[in-house]
Amino acid sequence: MPRYLSLCVAAVIVAVAAPMGTAAAVQLGTGRITNVTSVSGGCVSGPTGSTVQFWDVQPGNTYTITISNVTECANGGTDATLNVRVNSSVSGNTDLVATLVAPGTYTFNYTVPADGACTFPIFYCTTPRMTSSGFQARRNDGGAFQSHLRASTFGPGCTNPQPIGTCEITAVTPRTWGQVKTIYR
């Protein structure tokens, strides 16, 4: 087996072999990104996308992000605060603390870096400085895909959002070990 293929198979095995209940980076939580609003006057559009869902935002601006339906941690979504992380392969990850606004619903502010590009996946139930911790926040409709912020430029009146950067997003489809074995035979 070629080296690159064996590394890919090993990565798949690690992702599939993660015990249930652990917060592997590809594990979706029950929490949903249900609202993104600008605090600083920046444009926002969305959500869009048939698989991974995108909320288009302007770099350099601050947004309030709402995560609803949190049940896996924070005492079933009743604790006063919740650790969250916004990931970026371009500008680095940001650990934040969200505040309870109703049972299972938390809000936090995030400033998109001025040099922001591509997308920003959102995780919750995280441990600060541990990039593999937490659950990925899912679509606002509860669909089985992630929800991301996406750095974009906008036309006049916050119209016509255009993503910044050429970043590929591949939706992760959950598979059983038996399904994975049939793919790599």
Q: For residue range 151-174, what is the model confidence (pLDDT) as tens digits?
A: 999 999 999 999 998 776 555 555
CA–CA dist 44, 41 (Å, integer): 9
The predicted-structure confidence for 114-134, as pLDDT tens digits, reads as follows 999 999 999 999 999 998 899
Q: Is residue 61 part of a domain?
A: yes
Q: Is residue 13 part of a domain?
A: no
The pTM of the full predicted model, rounded to 2 decimals, is 0.77
Q: Is residue 1 part of a domain?
A: no
Q: Is residue 8 part of a domain?
A: no
- Residue numbers of the domain that contains 163: 27-175
The predicted-structure confidence for 39-64, as pLDDT tens digits, reads as follows 999 999 999 999 999 999 999 999 99
Cα 168 from chain centre: 15
Q: Is residue 67 part of a domain?
A: yes
pLDDT of residue 119: 95
pLDDT of residue 89: 86
Task: Give ∠ CA 94-68-23 in degrees, rounded to 5.
Answer: 55
CA torsion sign for 85, 88, 94, 98 is negative
Domain count for the chain, please give it: 1
Q: Is residue 14 part of a domain?
A: no
Q: Is residue 9 part of a domain?
A: no
Give all strands (DSSP E) within 119-164, no chain letters. 119-124, 135-138, 147-155, 159-163
Task: Give the single-character DSSP code of 179.
Answer: H
> Where is 4: in which H helix or E strand?
helix 3-17
Block residue for tokens 């604790």:
79
pLDDT of residue 15: 36
Q: Is residue 185 part of a domain?
A: no
